Copies of this chain bind each other. A is one copy, B any other.
């Protein structure tokens, strides 16, 4: 058990599972009109909201949307003098990625919903979209089509108000394609799946108004 989870801490924002579930439900109503074709979960934080969203995005008579998991490792070039992540020599390793051949996933002209739990420094989201964009453009080129036909949508449970270390494309941020269920101050968010004692955790979430059930 990690020490930070052994007891509740008034300075943290406690989130219950049912709250996460309802944030996904609420967001799904906004996401549905954008007709996502595929969900990409950024692991490990995106796994749970992505799986919940899949239920709410299910259309009657249609199969479930597919959820593909991706995991990125980012290694910053420690010799770089720039503090701007976009200009540093960040090495991006696709620890887990989409196997386009085996999964028969074609990103060209599709609406791809990228899901993570929290937008903290924005770095992971930035690189995830940047890498997926490269793949989409390569797929388009292989089909003799112009690049840029893939629409990326972003969903996070919480966006922290703080200086971000990386940016997302204007065609996402300025067109309603970035959705945060809640915009929150830069505090420690205690997600239920990180809790080692879910009873006091849930009680704190209820006390803080982050549980709609009780």
Contact = CB atoms under 8 A, between A and B. Distances in A.
Interface of A: 1-3, 5, 16-18, 21-22, 25, 41, 43-44, 47-48, 50-52, 54-56, 58, 60, 64, 67-69, 71, 93-99, 102-103, 192-196, 198-199, 202, 212-213
Contact of A68 (B96, B99, B102): B96
Contacts of A96: 68-69, 96, 98-99, 102-103
A54 B194 CA distance: 9
A169 to B, nearest CB: 25
A54 B48 contact: no
Contact of A17 (B21, B55, B67, B99): B21
Contacts of A5: 55
Each complex incorporates copies of this chain amounting to: 2
Contact of A52 (B21, B43, B193): B193
A18 to B, nearest CB: 5
Contact of A48 (B25, B47, B199): B47
Contacts of A212: 199
A134 to B, nearest CB: 15
Given A3-B60, A58-B2, A196 B47 contact: no
A49 to B, nearest CB: 10
A202 B18 contact: yes
26 contacts: A1-B58, A1-B60, A2-B55, A2-B60, A5-B55, A16-B17, A21-B198, A22-B198, A43-B67, A43-B69, A44-B51, A44-B54, A47-B48, A48-B193, A51-B193, A55-B193, A56-B196, A68-B71, A94-B99, A94-B102, A95-B102, A96-B96, A96-B103, A97-B102, A199-B212, A202-B213
